[in-house]
Each structure stands twice: as structure tokens, then as C-alpha cells.
Amino acid sequence: MTTQNSQIVRSVPLIKASSNVVTGSGHGRNMGAILIDSGRLSTGNAEQIMVFQRENGVRFGEAGRALGLLTDDDVRFALSVQFHYSYIPSGSSLSHELVAAYQPDSLAVEHLRMLRSQLMLRWFNNSMERKGLSVVSAGSGDGRSYIAANLAIVFSQLGERTLLIDADMRAPSQHRLFSLGKRAGLSDVLAGRAGSEAVVGIGALPNLSVLTAGAIPPNPQELLGRQSFSKLLLALGEDFDVIIMDTPPASACADAHTVAVRTGAALIVARQDRSSMSQLAQFTHSLREFGVTLVGSVLNDA
Ligand SMILES: Nc1ncnc2c1ncn2[C@@H]1O[C@H](COP(=O)(O)OP(=O)(O)OP(=O)(O)O)[C@@H](O)[C@H]1O
Ligand SMILES: [Mg+2]
């Protein structure tokens, strides 16, 4: 994934596993200490790992894995504590497409954090008018849902109270990604059949809540056009710092435009070798005409 407008992307330090000694306390604790404290590793095994580490010049996690004394899960757990990330055990029901939760130290997630920095600079400033962002694209399968979900996670990891709304009421995805099953969601709230209880906190990911699309309605465009949608966003803005909206493909219906107008800002996604340049140009032009601020673009090269 490549973020455009790279001149304003600030560099974010890469996450590294770099523990050497089994000592230390507080946030600076090293991997060995964290694993011993959590009961995942005995002191004797930690010492064995350190000997191997010294002899082979490898990192603690690598040494532990090579000796069969640590699992990938142990290493991810320790990294999550060291770097204040949420830890999702590998048996979790959350989709593995949520790479920001499962692989926070990967390059793909590093790109998402760079995108987050760009969006913080360009749009989110904690004012009520600048809390929402629509993730939009012209065609289907461009990666809007994937990017919206993972972007929401990296915002939540920064400590921002983050809400992800699935405003794709035609082919929703977020209930599946977050394993939320069939439940009341946006369509039900807009139709007056559900209230704020439809917003659900994601236990494993502190600071992240999701409002799924809800029951697929016959009239998404009409629901999104209602004043109640604007009122809902205003009310949610009281409780959240960042509201990310997943949307349907703009080429298929007017929903994406309607949602983007409501949030005031859009992040445009294009998929390499798939998105048509002319369609994209037409789409960005029409968003601008509607008064939507284009705060960034992502070339999804997956
Ligand atoms: N950057 C990426 N890295 C890995 N997989 C990706 C990436 N972007 C998208 N995908 C995968 O591509 C597929 C389509 O992505 P996604 O569902 O997010 O697209 P979409 O634009 O929301 O599609 P739809 O039009 O169906 O709503 C999914 O299986 C998703 O996991
Ligand atoms: Mg989608």
C-alpha cells in the first residue's frame, strides 16, 4: 500500500524486537521480563535463550523460537506489551485481514501508520466538524473495507476514541471482519429500530468501537439521505475522536457521495492494475464538486 502526497508523511519509527537482558521494569521492560512476569517463560528457559542469543547474535524472540521455547504468539504478546499495542491471540475470532491487530510490526501496518499521520495532519483536529472520514473508491473490491478497518485500528492504537461505521449497507463487511454476527447496525439506527446500543466496543482492541451495517435495507440511499444520519454523526462525535466510514463502490450507487458529504472528508482508494484512471478522475472531480475535502489517497498495491 502506498500513501500519496508523501511529502507530508512523517516518518514513524519501525517497531523492532530488541530485548537483550532479562531485567527492567515498567514500559521499558524487555521481552524476557515480560514473558517471565506473564508466566509464559521460566527463568531457566530465559537464561537458555540468552545464552543462545549471545552465541548466535540474534534477537531474544528469534532465539526463543529457534530453541522451541517461545511461540510466535509469545513474541507477539511481548511486543504488544513493549509497544503498547493490543494483543490478539492467534485463536481469536477476529479476521486475519485485520493486520493492524495481528501484525503491528509488519511493513503494511507501518504504511497504515504513515497514512494515519498524514490524516492527523490534514484533517482530524478534534473539532466536531472534523471527526468523520469516508473511505471511498470507484470500483468494487478496491480494498475500502480492508483499509477502513485497519485504519480504524491504528487510530485506536494511538489512544484515539475510534468508531468504525459500516455505511456499505449493500454488501457490508465489517461485521465479518470483527466477527460481530448479525446484529442491529446503521440501517436499524437510521430506521429508528435501534439506538446507541448498536455501537459495540471491540473487547480485544481498546478504544475501538464498530457500528455494523445492520440488516440490509431495500433503500440505503434514502436512509443515508435522511437528516437523522447527520444527527447521528453529530451525536457520535460527542463520544468519539475519529469516525471512519466504510462505503459501497461509488460506481455502483450514490451512497459513497452521500456519506462523504456527511463526513466532509474522503480518503480515496485505488487498486493497482484494476482501478481505471478515467473513472478515478471523474470520481474525485465529482467529490470536489460536492464540497468534499480529499484528504489523501491510497494506491492499494496488494
Ligand atoms: N492491502 C491489502 N493487503 C492484503 N489484502 C487486501 C488488501 N486490500 C484488500 N485486500 C483484500 O482484497 C479483498 C477485497 O478487499 P475489500 O473487501 O476491502 O474491498 P472493498 O473495496 O471493500 O470491496 P467491496 O466492493 O466488495 O466492498 C479482501 O479479501 C481483502 O482482504
Ligand atoms: Mg467493502
The Cα 21–Cα 60 span in angstroms is 9
Residues 69 and 200 in one domain: no
Residues 181 and 249 in one domain: yes
Listed residue (248, 261, 257, 259) closest to 282, CA to CA? 257
Cβ contacts of 156 within 8 Å, gap of 6 or more = 86, 162, 205, 206, 207, 208
Atom 5 of ligand 1, residue of closest alpha carbon: 302
The predicted structure's pLDDT at residue 16: 26
Give a yes or no: residue 100 inside a domain: no
Atom 8 of ligand 1, residue of closest alpha carbon: 143
The predicted structure's pLDDT at residue 23: 31
The predicted structure's pLDDT at residue 76: 86
Residues 134 and 44 in one domain: no
Strand partners, 21: none
Residue reference for cell 524486537: 17
Give a yes or no: residue 9 inside a domain: no
Give a yes or no: residue 1 inside a domain: no
The predicted structure's pLDDT at residue 175: 98
Give a yes or no: residue 195 inside a domain: yes
Ligand 1: which of 111, 134, 144, 146 to mutate, judged by most atoms within 8 Å of the beta carbon? 146
Give CA separation, 178 vs 131, 144, 153, 242, in Å.
22, 15, 11, 18
Q: Cell digits for 174?
A: 465489517
Q: Ligand 1 pocket: which residues have CB below 6 Å? A: 1, 97, 137, 140-146, 168, 171, 173, 249, 300, 302
The Cα 16–Cα 141 span in angstroms is 32
Q: Which atom of ligand 1 is nearest to the CA of 248?
A: 27
Give a yes or no: residue 284 inside a domain: yes
Q: 135 C-alpha vs ligand 2 centroid, how far in Å?
A: 10
Q: 173 C-alpha vs ligand 2 centroid, how far in Å?
A: 6
Residues 132 and 181 in one domain: yes
Atom 14 of ligand 1, residue of closest alpha carbon: 141
The predicted structure's pLDDT at residue 91: 80
- Ligand index nearest the alpha carbon of residue 251: 1
Rg of the chain over all Cα atoms, to the nearest angstrom = 21
Provide the domain limits for residue 84.
17-92
Domain boundary among 71, 92, 113: 92
Give a yes or no: residue 7 inside a domain: no
Residues 62 and 210 in one domain: no
pLDDT tens, position by position, 55-108? 999 999 999 999 999 998 899 889 888 877 777 877 889 999 999 998 888 899
Residues 163 and 259 in one domain: yes
CB 269 within 8 A of CB 297: yes
Residues 72 and 136 in one domain: no
Residues 235 and 267 in one domain: yes
- Ligand index nearest the alpha carbon of residue 252: 1
Give CA separation, 2 vs 148, 158, 252, 300, in Å.
15, 21, 25, 6
Domain boundary among 92, 127, 152: 92
Q: 147 C-alpha vs ligand 1 centroid, how far in Å?
A: 8
Please write down the HEC assignment for all residues of the chain: CEECCHHHCCCCCCCCCCCCCCCCCHHHCCHHHHHHHCCCCCHHHHHHHHHHHHHHCCCHHHHHHHCCCCCHHHHHHHHHHHCCCCCCCCCCCCCCCCHHHHCCCCHHHHHHHHHHHHHHHHCCCCCHHHCEEEEECCCCCCCHHHHHHHHHHHHHHCCCCEEEEECCCCCCCHHHHCCCCCCCCHHHHHCCCCCHHHCEECCCCCCEEEECCCCCCCCHHHHHHCHHHHHHHHHHHHHCCEEEEECCCCCCCCHHHHHHHHHCEEEEEEECCCCCHHHHHHHHHHHHHCCCEEEEEEEECC
Ligand 1: which of 1, 94, 97, 269 to mutate, judged by most atoms within 8 Å of the beta carbon? 97
Residues 33 and 161 in one domain: no
Residues 205 and 154 in one domain: yes
The Cα 30–Cα 58 span in angstroms is 15
Residues 135 and 271 in one domain: yes
Domain count, the chain: 2
Instruction: Please identify every stretch of the chain with a pLDDT value under 70, giving residue numbers as ranges.
Output: 1-28
Residues 56 and 136 in one domain: no
Q: 17 C-alpha vs ligand 1 centroid, how far in Å?
A: 29
Q: Which atom of ligand 1 is nearest to the CA of 246?
A: 22
Domain boundary among 61, 92, 123: 92
Q: Which atom of ligand 1 is nearest to the CA of 140?
A: 25
User: In CATH, what number is assigned to the domain containing residue 239?
Assistant: 3.40.50.300
CA atoms within 13 A on the CB side of 191: 17
The predicted structure's pLDDT at residue 3: 53
Give a yes or no: residue 88 inside a domain: yes
